[in-house]
Amino acid sequence: MEALSLLNNRVLLATRILRVGLAFSFLYAAYASFVDPTSWAAFFPSWITDSVSTKTLLWVSGVGELVLGAWLLSGWRVTIASLVAVVGLLGIVAGNMGQFVILFRDLSLAIVAVALAVLGTVENSLVTPVEEE
């Protein structure tokens, strides 16, 4: 029973660490896109910027990243938040394969988000904090 308690607590701690790390990447990207929009504007594919202004895209994506970062930090419905992160990150990579030398990190973060989605399912349904005696 003590081993299960330790495992439960480590799974919960690992899940929280992954949530904070993933949230940071979205919160920083949002901050950076508001502070230095020119550096971030190039990541939008031309088929999007042909129909929507870059300023609008930066604002919408920045707000979306802030919301997603806060959502991940909140711990509410972690699996869904993580899957939204996966879709967003893979979309960024797919739309910018020519810049993979920079975006390989986004692919790594997408894999982390998949792991968090799996752990979020465990955290929300199977694992409960166990008090130490």
Q: What is the pTM of this model?
A: 0.87
Q: Which of 47, 85, 89, 80 is nearest to 69 (CA)?
A: 85
Lowest mean pLDDT among 43-52, 65-74, 80-89: 43-52
SS3 of 27, please?
A: helix
Q: What is the pLDDT of residues 15-48, one digit of tens each?
A: 999 999 999 999 999 999 999 999 999 888 888 9
**Residue 69 Cα distances to 6, 109, 130, 131, angstroms:** 28, 13, 28, 29
Q: Structural domain boundaries of the chain? A: 2-125
Percentage of the chain modeled with pLDDT above 70: 92
More confident residue, 122 or 111: 111
